[in-house]
Amino acid sequence: MRALGFAARSLVRQPARATLGILGVAAVGALLFDMLLLSQGLLVSMRDLLEHSGWDIRVSAGDLPGRGPRVQNSLEVARRIAALPLVRSTLRVRMADAQIDRPSSTPIRAAFEGVSALSTTGADMHPPWTVTRGREARGPHEVVIDDRIAAALGVGPGGTITLRASCVSDRESLPPVRVDVAGIAEFPFAVSDEDAIGGTFEALQTACSGNVGDDADLLLVTSTGDSNETAAAIRTAVPDLRAMTNAEVVGRLQQTGFSYFRQISTVLTTVTVSFAVLLITVLLTVSVNQRLGEIAALRALGFSRSRVVADVLSESALIVGSGGLLSLPLGLLLASVLDRILKDMPGIPVELHFFVFESEALTIHIVLLVATAIIAALYPMRIVSTLPIAATLRAEVMD
Amino acid sequence: MEPDREDESFVKPGLFLVAFLAFSSLAVLHAQDTPPGILVSRQLAASEGLTVGSIVRLSIDAAGTHAKEFTIVGIYEPTPDPAQLGVVPREVRLHLPDLLDLTRPAASVAGTEFVSSINVALVHPDDAEGFSRDVNARMPGILARPSSEAAGSAGPFKVLERFHLAIAVVTIMASTVFLLALTMMLVDERRETVGVLRLIGLPARRVLLQVLIEGALVAGVGAAFGLVLAVLSEGLINAFFQWRYDTALVFVRVTKDVALTSVAIAVPLGTSATVAASWALLRRGGLRLARR
């Protein structure tokens, strides 16, 4: 009988402890798997979001797009960028706080994204939202709204809403403005605790009663070729501003915004792996200690030293392997629960996920479990390899 | 809102702008007249080699347009902000009139600027709720809130608390399984001893009580050891992360509540695991247990 089959029979002989060992590894493995998903989840999710948005470069006045001071004279800046040969199109984005009036309830607070496109190549440009019903907003009196606003107001494409936006200061008291709803849209970068409205720059001017100015929160750029070269060209053309490729934005976020989750992921990965090693080591050691007589008898019957060592290693591999397999569905289930909890955090884009499956995470998970199986088996393997056959059998008989 | 020109308190709004400018266009100068005083964050002072008494120029753009001179009158430790973890706080703090003079657009008349917020100290702090309502009613466009409600950053920490709780639950479940497996093996090892105890006349209930006390003792000692380990590692973890992020933020704090909760979970759990593992054993007859 091969070592693996023999180890399987040893485990079947002790079903309760084998089951508990496997369940323990499954629970610890699930947590380990989740921490590996969390370690890169936000970055992977953010990279996907940025890449699917269709814009290669983000130009802003602050360290990160959308944060810090606004881009002054944005129309002139957009023109200078659009004139670059590597640039396909440019979109100015201006954010404003808005309140949508409701006849018999408190107003709905929303973020108004006003956009204005500029292209010297005639390329098609799409705003940073996706219309799911109706059509795109055009002109100064049309907007698109998200599903939550539509549901709260009972308004669909073709309806009208009354809103007041604050473009300069949230202390402004502006008159209400009625605008038409052209469509319902998804705003992937809208934060989870805030509703969103989209429209043209002109629509934003209408909502803010013309009190907007010429500054923009950021400029989105698509390039005709390599985005790094385009970003470098933009930095030369507008040296006061920061032009960041999607990869640079993700890299910047990696340095600042997401460090907490990377740290907790590292700490918990270390803790869970140590815990798993300890669990399997104790289980195997106690199990081996209880079977010393049996193992000595097998040695006396002709089992080689390497064979009994292989039996212990196989036992460890079976417990960790079975627990590891169980840990994958358990981990994915737990990840969805933890993701829902963390997505309640204010300021997180609705499309951003904390736990994202990646084949790399699965590979690391498997490598760590294999290492766990080997390391955990080292001490019990040493016990059986150095077991004195005659003395153990004698002690067993005397006992 | 018209700012109070006599206000000499430090203000936080607008500091990002100034901080950004500070590290992009700081230059130490010498001046004959003493310019207005500012405070500089420890991190900014360290990175730029600034000391108390240094004279610096601050401007609202990277080109240094309309720069003004200020004297560093102090170095301060920024209030730790978990939301800014990983971001080195390179900040300066100015008196509000100085900040407004520096940032006021050329077309604006002095006194027409807005401020982000006004902090009000009440004679009777318990009246905060009523005072807020009164201000909101009398001054449309102004939002007044008691300080307890204005802690906008509470949300993320509530979420993180729930996240940590969920992880703790999973860890406890894994620990329980581990503990059960371990106690089952330990109890199995003592099968003969239990058998002999039963054969010499001790009833199952008496043996169970002994197991229960043993379990409670082991769980209690384990919980105490865990607490000591947590207290010892608390300082190490805080020291490491404070060094890693250059912050005074406290990352781990073993409070009385945390310690009591841990003990309240660990001791009953450990005791129950021991009893559960022994239960099957005690249901067998003494002879069967003692038989090899």
Dist. CA A197–CA A180, nearest whole Å: 12
Query: How sure is the predictor about B228, in pLDDT bands with cuts at 50, 70 and 90?
Result: very high
Give yes or no for residue A332 having a pLDDT over 90: yes
Q: Are the beta carbons of B114 and A169 separated by less than 8 Å?
A: yes
Burial annotation A340-371 (CB, 10 A radius, 16+ → b, else e): ebbeebeebbbbbbbbbbeeebeebbeebbee
Average pLDDT score over residue span A287-315: 88
DSSP string, B168-215: HHHHHHHHHHHHHHHHHHHHHHTHHHHHHHHHTT--HHHHHHHHHHHH
CB A224 within 8 A of CB A86: yes
Q: Can you list the positions of beta strands (E) in chain B?
A: 28-29, 37-41, 55-58, 68-76, 92-94
Q: Which of A10, A11, A22, A23 to mutate to probe the B interface, most B CBs <10 Å? A: A23
pLDDT of residue A171: 52
How confident is the model at residue A257, as a pLDDT? Answer: 59
Q: Cα separation of A174 and A107, whole Å?
A: 14
What is the predicted pLDDT for the residue at A363?
Answer: 94
Q: How far is B21 from chain A (nearest CA, A)?
A: 11
Question: Tokens 């890299």 identify what position?
Answer: A251
Which residue from B82, B163, B184 is facing A17, i.e. has the nearest CB? B184
- Does residue B74 carry a pLDDT above 90? yes
Read off the tokens for A331.
């981990």
Residue % of chain B over a pLDDT of 90: 15
| A61 contacts chain B (CB < 8 A) | no
Whether A304 has its CB under 8 Å from any CB of chain B: the answer is: no
Amino acid at A177: V
Return the SS3 of A395.
Answer: helix
A146 vs B197, which has greater pLDDT? A146
What is the torsional sign of CA B218, A272, B244, A65?
negative
Determine whether the interchain pair A286/B62 forms a contact, defined as Cβ–Cβ distance below 8 Å. no
Tell me how many degrees the CA angle A100-A101-A104 measures, rounded to the nearest 5. 140
Q: Tell me, what's the pLDDT at A124? A: 66
Q: Answer whether residue B286 shows pLDDT above 70.
A: no
Cross-chain residue pair A256–B177, CB shorter than 8 Å: no
Q: What amino acid is encoded at A185 in this protein?
A: A
- Report yes or no: A103 at the B interface, CB cutoff 8 Å: no
- In the block, tokens 């001017």 appear at A205
Q: By the CB < 8 Å criterion, does B63 face chain A?
A: yes
List CB contacts (< 8 A) between B186 and chain A: 286
Query: With contact defined as beta carbons under 8 Å apart, do A121 and A85 qualify?
Result: no
Q: What percent of chain A has pLDDT over 70?
A: 93
Q: Is the pLDDT of residue B156 over 80?
A: no
Nearest to A171 among B1, B174, B186 (CB): B1
- The secondary structure of chain A in percent helix, strand, coil, rounded to multiples of 5, reads 55, 20, 25
pTM of the predicted structure, to 2 decimals = 0.71
Taking the CA of residue A189 and the nearest CA in chain B, the distance in Å comes to 18
Query: How many CA within 13 A on the CB side of residue B251?
Result: 21
pLDDT of residue B14: 37
Label residue B289 by pLDDT band (50, 70, 90).
low
Nearest CA-CA distance, residue A241 and chain B, Å: 10
Judged against a pLDDT cut of 80, whether residue A36 lies above it is answered with yes
Residue A364's pLDDT band (boundaries 50, 70, 90)? very high
How sure is the predictor about B264, in pLDDT bands with cuts at 50, 70 and 90? Answer: very high
pLDDT digits (tens, 9 = 90+) for A230-274: 999 998 888 888 888 988 888 877 766 566 777 778 878 888 888
pLDDT of residue B149: 66
Q: Do A259 and B155 touch (CB under 8 A)?
A: no
pLDDT of residue B13: 33
Q: What residues 169-198 of chain A have any CB closer than 8 A to a CB of chain B? A: 169, 171-173, 193
Q: Which of B141, B159, B241 sits opposite A342 (nearest CB)?
A: B159
The per-residue pLDDT for range B113-155, each reduced to its tens digit, is 777 788 899 999 889 888 988 887 887 667 788 877 655 545 6
- DSSP label of A191: B
How many whole angstroms separate alpha carbon B270 and alpha carbon B168? 16
- Subunit contact B61:A171, Cβ cutoff 8 A: no
Among positive and negative, which fits the CA dihedral A236, A241, A247, A248? Answer: positive
CA distance A159 to chain B (A): 28
Question: Which of A27, A69, A257 lies at the smallest CB-CB distance from B170?
Answer: A27
pLDDT in tens, A171-225: 555 678 889 999 999 888 877 777 899 999 888 888 887 777 788 888 999 888 8
Tens-digit pLDDT profile for residues A142-164: 999 999 899 888 888 999 998 88
Q: Which of B16, B140, B155 sits opposite A346 (nearest CB)?
A: B155
Residue A66 scores a pLDDT above 70: no
Tell me what the mean pLDDT of segment B173-179 comes to: 82
Of the candidate ranges A211-225, B70-84, B178-192, B261-275, the one whose mean pLDDT is the lowest: B178-192
In angstroms, the CA A60 to CA A69 distance is: 8
Inter-chain touch B61–A287, beta carbons under 8 Å:
no
Q: What is the DSSP letter of B126?
A: G
**Average predicted confidence (pLDDT) for chain A:** 85
Query: Mind listing the pLDDT tens digit for each residue in B5-59?
Result: 333 333 333 333 343 334 444 444 444 568 899 999 998 998 889 999 999 999 8
| B1 contacts on A by Cβ (under 8 Å) | 171
Strand pairing partners for A102?
A: A105
More confident residue, A335 or A63: A335
B160: enclosing H helix or E strand: helix B154-189
Interchain contact, A171 vs B159, CB within 8 Å: no
Answer whether A94's CB lies under 8 Å from A173's CB.
no
Look at B103-107, B167-171, B203-207 and tell me which has the smallest mean pLDDT.
B103-107
The shortest CB-CB distance from B184 to any of A16, A337, A347 is to A16
Residue B227's pLDDT is 92
- pLDDT reported for residue B196: 82
Stretch B232-243: mean pLDDT, rounded?
Answer: 87
Q: B234 contacts in A (CB within 8 Å)?
A: none
Give the three-class secondary structure for A176: coil
**What is the structure's pLDDT at B279?**
78
- Give the model's pLDDT for residue A216: 87
> What percent of chain B clears pLDDT 70, i.e. is strictly above it?
80
CB contact under 8 A, A63 and B162: no
How far is Cα of residue A338 from the mean position of the Cα atoms in its chain? Answer: 12
